[in-house]
Every structure is written in structure tokens, then in C-alpha cells.
Amino acid sequence: MKNTALAICLILLLNACAAPVIAPESIGVTPAPTHAVVEEGTAVEAFFTNPLANARPAPVETALVDAIDQAQTSVDVAVYSFTLESVAHALLRAAERGLAVRLVTEGDARRSDALQLIADSRVQWHTDDSGDLMHHKFIIIDGNQVWTGSLNLSTGGAYYDHNNLVSIRDARAAQNFQVEFDEMFASGFFGRNSRPQDTPYPQIELDGRLWEFYFSPDDGVQQHIERLLRGADESIHVLAYAFTLDDLGWALVNAHDAGVEVVGVFESEKINDSGADYDFLRSKGLDVRLDGLADGLMHHKVIIVDGESVAFGSYNFTRSAENENDENLVIAHDPALAAQFEAEFQRILANSAR
């Protein structure tokens, strides 16, 4: 992307000079160190479910359980749906080792068998009963590692749906999610009651690449996605579980009309939802298709730009995600990570239908 370097410099300059950053200690959170506390292993590792292979146990499940079993001090989990008993048992083992283990879930999810396993344990547990959705899917380990993506900690998510989960070993990235977690767990602020724009490190440099971190509904996530799309020179590839953001749809149309290749795969069960933009995008000549899974969901929320940058997280491209729900979106200007998401996109595209 020929404008990437300039865009990165401008973002970092604006963040340093124009946007006030709330000190973490001012909201009762211990500030993260200036530099990442990176342990052994790669700084970034991406996992993708593969419902067509149906390997058991799923590699992502094994990796996450191993990470929790290796935790030394703390594990904090915020997840919309939780039915994976292997992860519940890993949290129990962590609590029995004396670690601080905390959990935030959506209120409707509290009755799962996995959660009942930890109901009377040392795991501290808080549910969101606000009416808005606590839709996050992230895990913070030892304050220096965060796992985030589209994967709920559920059997369906790990074995039947297309999903992603990315592990980031960086204390600043983990601190961004820690502030969000503490806001929900300790302060009880959910959805539209969220504290505005308190992310301590909205942009960081990781292995020489710019990473951006945004949380809704407080950060106005849609504007950051639109900025990413406007910077596209060659291609925009979309994997969308749900899509009802009209302005984002127009941004895709404008890119298409400017000669950028725009291709998307959408979850077939969601294209007839109220306000869904799938038919609109097709009417404008965009190459948008339906996922080919007979069972399970195309649950990704991913945009890849020019094969160099990728946006991912829990944030569906919907009005409720933008304005009501607790969500996160990460934008990584990292060609190596983008290449992994591009491979996933091509795998799903090959099994899609027009």
C-alpha cells in the first residue's frame, strides 16, 4: 500500500499531539510499562477454526488451554458465550493454583454447563444484565498477553463455525483490554454506559508495525474502518457475519468505483436481517458471495486491505455493534498477519457461492 507509511506517521503524530490520553492510574488501573513484557514465543500468533476438517481437539482450543495452564499470576476472560468445558477446567486449575481468575459474560449465557462448572469455585464471575450485549471475546493472561478475535469459547464456535483468535504478547495491548475488562468487572459499566475513550495505548508499534485498538460503543469504531478502506490502493477482502452499516457499505462501493478490487463472503443466515446491506452491495456490482457451510456459521468479522493490513475482533459490521454493544476491533498494519488472514479468506472464498 503506497500510502501506508505516510498514514502510519500521521496516525502516530495525531495520537501524540492531538488526542488526550487518560492516564491508566486515574481510573484505578496500574499503568502498563512503556515497552512490552514479551515472554518466550512469537509476539503474534493467529489461529483459525476449520469446520471442514473437524479435527478434535481443535488446535485453537489446545493452544488456549495450554496458555491458561502456563499462566503465573492472573487470567481475565470476557466472552459472550462460554460452553467449552476444557477451558472452564483450565480456569479452575488456574484458580486452584492461587491465580486471580475473573470472568465477565453476557447475562443470557450464565446457564451453560461450562459455566456451571465454575459457579461455586474461586473464579470470580460477573454477568452483564444491562440489556445491551457484552459481545467481547478476549482473554488476558498475566497482564502481558491478550487473545482476541471472533471466537466465542463455545463448542459451536470452535468446531462448526469459521472463526479466528489471535494471541498478542505485548503488555500495552494487554493493558488496553485490561482497562476495558476492569470497566465491566469492577465498575459495572456496560454497553451505552461505557466510559468514553479511556484506552491507554490506542496505537502501538509492535515488531516495527502499527497496531490500533478500538472499543465500542465509546471509540466510534466505524470511522476507523472507513479510514482504513479509504487508504486501499488495490484490494479489500471482507468476511462478514453480519453487515448493516450503510456508510461502511458506501465506503466499499466508493472503493469499487475507484478501481479497487472488493470481494466479500457473507454469512447466508444474516443477509435477510433488517437493514442488511448484502443485496445493496450486489446491486452496485460488488463481488459479494455467500458462505458454503452446510452447518455452522461464517462468523468472522474481518477486513483485509491490500494484503498488508487486517481488521479483526468481536465487532460485527452492524449498527448495534457500533452504538450499543461492548465490542473490540484491532487494526494491524502487519503484512505477515494479513497474509494469514488472506489465506483464510481464500479458503472460505473457494467454498462460497454467488
Separation of alpha carbons 226 and 306, rounded Å: 14
pLDDT at 39: 40
Domains for the chain: give ranges and CATH numbers: 22-349 (3.30.870.10)
Scan for cell 455452522, then name that residue: 296
Which is nearest to 206 in space by CA: 20, 45, 7, 71? 45
- Average pLDDT of the segment spanning 203-215: 96
Q: What is the pLDDT of residues 98-147, one digit of tens each?
A: 999 999 999 877 778 888 889 889 999 888 888 889 999 999 999 999 99
pLDDT in tens, 40-80: 456 999 999 999 887 889 999 999 999 999 999 999 999 99
d(CA 66, CA 209): 27
Please state the pTM of the whole predicted model. Answer: 0.88
Per the prediction, the chain carries an average pLDDT of 88
pLDDT at 248 over 50: yes
Q: What is the pLDDT of residues 143-199, one digit of tens each?
A: 999 999 999 999 999 999 999 999 999 999 999 999 999 999 988 888 888 767 689
B/e letters for 128-149, b = 16+ CB within 10 Å, e = fewer, are: bebebbbbbbbbbbbbbbbbbb
